[in-house]
A = this chain, B = another copy of it.
Amino acid sequence: MGAGQAVTMMDVARAAGVSRAAVSKVIRDAYGVSPEMRARVESAIARLGYRPSVAARAIRGSSFTIGFELHEIENPALSRILHGTVAEIEGTGYQLVVAPAMAGVGESPQAINALVDLRVDGLVVVAPHVPSGLLEELALRVPVVLLSRHHHSENYDTVTGDDAAGARLVMRHLISLGHDRIAYLTRGGEAAARECTPPTVRLEVYLHEMKGSGRGRHIEVVRADSALDARRVTSELLASAARPTAIFAANDDLALEALHVVQERGLSASDLSVVGYDNVRLAGHPGVSLTTIDQSGDELGRRAVRLLLDRIGGRTEARREMTTPRLIVRNSTGRPRSGQR
């Protein structure tokens, strides 16, 4: 307090007339403290406004800190997951710390390392493209739960949405409306291809459902690197000979850009239906009204925390969990104009 001097465990011990070890035991709720001693120590702690140094604790024992790797700061789907994480961690005695990184490949490892350097007691990883090797090695040192990748490992836990089921909901919705020429819009690059990321799983279901329903020749997969690029690609799609009547976007961000083009040109869902994925908050705004899948982002975060605390508590066998997706039908989808099929 006051002049920038932090009050230390030693100060508390002196004020309470006990040893530092006693104070340590009290703050850790450890075995072997008499009620009187506990009372004396706790009153001294309160009186002096003592706060244990996380740094000093981390060096020997636990930091009572859970790390969250955040690679896309302005992605509302991730914000929602983070929200659930914070909510679930509330009151557990652990503190969440988030390490943000600039978007871009190769940045997530940096954020993850930053958290490891802090000696967090557990780690929530949301980045889809962290090298598996890094993850495995990481999981040997600290409990890890991976969101947003359908990967199983002996060493860490996994919780994801059921992307296959969700994508099937989307496809069947569009098909039931009468759409034949359905395009799939996803992020650029093919780095993700082998990694069982959600966009990849959704893509596979798209392909499977298109073929399985006799629409194989209408398959069209387009990729965009940025918001601007997504709009450009959508425009091209609208100008193409085999102009699609519907777009299944890998996520709401992309879907919103596609919808941007539709609305900008005064088109309607009959001209081009758009479906997204994640149910970000603005999808429900009447000016947007985007049909999408809700996979309970906050529930993903909550489960991640539960799994992590479980592991910190001693579990060793790996677990794998999924949330159930729900289709939210809004105005961005509708029947194609007749004859348009």
| Residues 52-71 of chain A, each 1 if its beta carbon lies under 8 Å from chain B, else 0 | 11111111000101000010
Nearest residue (CB) in B for A259 is: B287
For A6, the chain B residues whose CB sits under 8 A away are 141
Binary flags per residue of A28-40, CB closer than 8 Å to B gives 1, else 0:
0000000000000
Quick check: is A1 within 8 A (CB to CB) of the other chain? yes
What is the chain B residue whose CB lies nearest that of A290?
A: B287
Check if A154 is an interface residue, CB within 8 A of chain B: no
CA distance A3 to B54 in the complex (A): 24
**Residues of chain B within 8 A of A24, CB atoms compared:** none
- Asked if B140 and A2 sit within 8 Å, CB to CB, the answer is yes
A97 touches B118 (CB 8 A): yes
Checking B73, B97, B116 against A86 with a beta-carbon cut-off of 8 angstroms, the contacting residue is B73
Interface residue total, chain A, C-beta cutoff 8 A: 56
Contact B83 A73 (CB under 8 A): yes
Q: Contact string, A84-95, partner B, CB cutoff 8 A, digits 1/0? A: 001100100001
A264 part of interface (Cβ distance < 8 Å): yes
- Whether A74 contacts B80 by the Cβ 8 Å rule is yes
Report the minimum CB–CB distance from A229 to chain B (whole Å). Answer: 16
Q: Closest residue to A87 on the B side, CB-wise?
A: B102
Docked pose: A86 CA to B100 CA in angstroms: 7
Interface string of A257-297 (1 = CB under 8 A from B): 00110011000000000000000011001111100000000
Residue of B nearest to A95 (CB): B114
Known: A86-B100, A96-B99. 9 other contacts (CB 8 A): A2-B137, A4-B140, A51-B113, A53-B117, A54-B118, A73-B83, A97-B114, A263-B285, A264-B286
